[in-house]
Chain A
Amino acid sequence: MTATIDVHGLAKRFGDLQAVRDVSLQVQPGELFGVLGPNGSGKSTTIRMLCGVIDPTAGSGTVLGLDLRRESEAIKRGIGYMTQSFSLYSDLSVGENLRFWSGVHGLGFLRVGDRIREQLARYHLTDRTGQIAGTLSGGWRQRLALACATIHRPQLLVLDEPTAGVDPVSRREFWQLIGSLVRDGTTVLCSTHYMDEAERFDRMAFIFQGRLLGTGTPAELAASAELSVAEGVVAEAADMADRLRTDPRIVEAAVHGRILRVVARDPAALPEGLQPVRTTIEDAFISLSALEPGPRT
C-alpha cells in the first residue's frame, strides 16, 4: 500500500530565515496524523508545502501518489483544506458557502444539488441552509467549514490549527466529526499547538524550530523521551521545585497547588516520596525541545 504522504528532506527558506529543515514524513491511508509544535515552529509552512501551495527549497516526495513539485495542481484537487480562519464568507448564507466551494471543485454552484444536501444533512446544517454564516456560533461555523472543505470527498483532509480559539465543547464535537471521517476512510493531517489534543492522533510528528524532533504514536513518542515522571504532595513544594531545577537531569519541576510534579531524565534524580506517573506528550515535547541547540522560541 502506498503512503498518502511520503516526503523526504523537505526544507523551506524565506530569505535569511530557514523556516523548515529536513522534514521527512510518511502518513499511511486512513491515519489521523498530527503535527505538533508551538506557534512559529514551521508547522504551517510544512503543511503549505504538502498542499502544493509553496515550492520546497529542497527535498522531494509524493502526496496522494502525486509528485509534490510537478503535480501540485492535481494535489490541490485531491485534498480538502481547512484553516483556523475557516475560509467562510460571513456575508453569505450556509447554502451559498457550500455552493461556492461546490463550484470551486467543479461540482456545480447554480443550485443546491445532491452533494450539497448530503453535506448539509451530515453536519446537521439542513435547518440552517438560509442562515448567514457570520451569525453562526463558533461550533456551527466549524461544522460549516468542515462541510465546505470535504464537499468534494477528498482522500486527504488537511487541517491547519482547526481548533485554535474554539471553546472546549465545540472542540470535542469537532474531534467526533473528524473521527467519523477517519472511520469512513479519509486520511487526516492536522496541525495543532494544543498538547492535550495529541492523544487523539494515531501517529504524530513533533516540529520545533523548523526541525522534526520525532514521529510515532503518542505512546511511542512519550516513551522515546526516556523520562521518569513522578508527583505527590510535599511540604514546601515551591522551595523544593526551585532546588530541583538547578539539577541538569531535571527537565521540569512544576507546582500545582500543593502537588509537586517532577520530570527527570534520570530516575535517580527524582526526590523521595513521590508516586511515579505516566509521561505525557507535553513532557516528551518539552524534554526533546530542550535538547535542541539554538535560541528558544
Chain B
Amino acid sequence: MNRLLAVAWKELMHLRRDRLSLAMIVLLPTVQFLVFGFAIDTDVRHVPLAVLDRDVTQESRDLVRRLEATTYYHDIGAVGGYDEANRALREGLVGAVLVIPPDYAAAVAAGQPRSVQLLVDGSDPMTVGSTTGAASGLARSLSEALLHVEVDLRYNPQQISAVYIVPGLVGVILTFTLVLMTALAIAREREHGTIEGLVVSPIRPWELIGGKLAPYVVIGYVQMTLVLGLGSLLFNIHPGPGVVGLYAVALLFIAANLAVGLVFSTIARTQGQAMQLAVFFLLPNILLSGFMFPIAAMPDGIRQATEILPLTHFLRVVRGIVLKGASLTDLWGEIAALAGLLGGLLVLATLRVRKRLA
C-alpha cells in the first residue's frame, strides 16, 4: 500500500512539473463546455427562405407573415419563377423556397383544401428536419383538423440543445482526458526506460497501476464537478439531489476509461502513439455514443455496437439523473452494463499489463 502511495505521489510530482497538462485538466473541460454548450444547436432556426408567390393576394402575404413569425425562417425574399428558385437553392443563397399557387386565395375563400409547395435544400438532413417540421406545424395550425394532438414535451420543453449537450459533456470530457493521461503515464515510463527499474523493484504490478491511476480518479472528479458547476451557472441545469448517485456511478465510468487507457499504454511504445490511440478512441465515442446523434437513428448492428462503449451507458445515466431526476434504481440496467464493461476491461488490462511487464 505504501508503495502504491509512493507511485501516486510521484505521478503528482510529474504533473506539478508539467504546467501544460496541469492547465489542460481545467482548460480542456472549460473550453469544450463553452464551445459545445453555446455553439452547438441542433434545433436549426433562421433558415434563409425565398417565396415564389404566384397568387399575390392578401391571403398569400398573410401566410408568409405567419411563417416568418415561427422564427425558423429569415431574410425572406421573393423570386420571380422556378428557374430563379432553383438557382437560389443550388447556389446556397436560400435553404428553402415556398411556392404559393395562383389559386391560393380563391381556395381559402371557397373553404376548399389548399396546398402550397416547399422546396427544401435536402443536402443537410439536420436543416431539413427543422424546416419541414416548422412548416407542417404551421399547416396543422391553419387547418381545422378533426383530431387535435396535444404534445407535452417533458424534461426539456423548450428543446434547448445545451440542456441535452451539457450533461453529456461530462462523459465526453472524462473519456478524453482520462484515456489520454493514463495511456501517456505508462508510455512515458517505457519511452524513458524508467520502467526497467520499476520491473526489478519490489513494486507489484497492481501497486504500480493503482498508484498511477489514483491521481487520475481525483482529476476525473474535479473535471466532472467543473462541468456540472458551469452547467448550473451558465445554463441553469441543476442536477438535484440525484447528484450523489451520479458521483457514485461515475467511479465505474472513470475506472472503465482508465482501464481503456491502460490497455492503450500496453500497445503504444511511445507517447506519440499513445496520443494517436486516444484520439482514435475518442471519435467513435463522440459520434456513436448518443452524445450528438441519436442512437435510435443508427442502423442495426451499429446500434448494438454502441453498447460496448462505456460512454453510451454513462450518458443515459447522467442525462437520466440530471435532466429527468431519475434514481439509481430507475437506471439499474445501465449501471449493470457499465459494471460489466468495467469488469471485462479490467481483465483485459491486467492480462495485457502482466504480459508487457514480463
Contacts and interface: CB of A to CB of B under 8 A. Distances in A.
B87 interface: no
Interface stretch (B8-16, B48-56, B281-289): B8-16
A77 B9 contact: no
A92 B2 contact: no
Nearest to A54: B358
A87 B10 contact: no
A104 B202 contact: yes
Contacts, number: 82
Contacts of B18: 91
Interface stretch (B29-37, B193-201, B342-350): B193-201
Interface centre among A51, A54, A76 (most CB of B within 10 A): A76
A269 B168 CA distance: 85
Given A76-B201, A103-B5, A103-B6, A92 B196 contact: no
B238 interface: no
A85 B17 contact: no
Given A54-B358, A73-B202, A79-B200, A103 B3 contact: yes
Interface string A29-73: 000000000000000000010010110000000000000000001
A79 B198 CA distance: 13
A273 interface: no
A49 to B, nearest CB: 12
Interface in B102-141: none
Contacts of A96: 10, 13
A76 B200 contact: yes
A89 B193 contact: no
A109 B192 contact: no
Chain A contact-residue range equals 35 or more
Contact of A89 (B194, B196, B199, B200): B194
A87 B196 contact: yes
Q: Which of the four size classes fits the interface of chain B? A: 20 to 34
Nearest to B3: A104
A106 B2 contact: yes
A81 interface: yes
B309 interface: no
Contacts of A106: 2-3, 202
Given A85-B192, A85-B194, A85-B196, A105 B14 contact: no
Contacts of B5: 103, 109
A109 to B, nearest CB: 5
Contacts of B202: 73, 76-77, 104-106
A92 B201 contact: no
B192 A100 contact: no
Interface of A: 48, 51, 53-54, 73, 76-77, 79, 81-83, 85-92, 96, 99-106, 108-110, 132, 148-149, 158
Given A53-B199, A81-B201, 10 more contacts: A83-B196, A85-B196, A88-B194, A89-B14, A89-B192, A92-B10, A99-B9, A103-B2, A109-B9, A148-B197
19 contacts: A53-B199, A76-B200, A76-B201, A82-B197, A83-B196, A85-B193, A85-B194, A86-B193, A87-B193, A87-B197, A96-B10, A96-B13, A100-B6, A102-B6, A104-B6, A104-B201, A104-B203, A132-B17, A158-B200
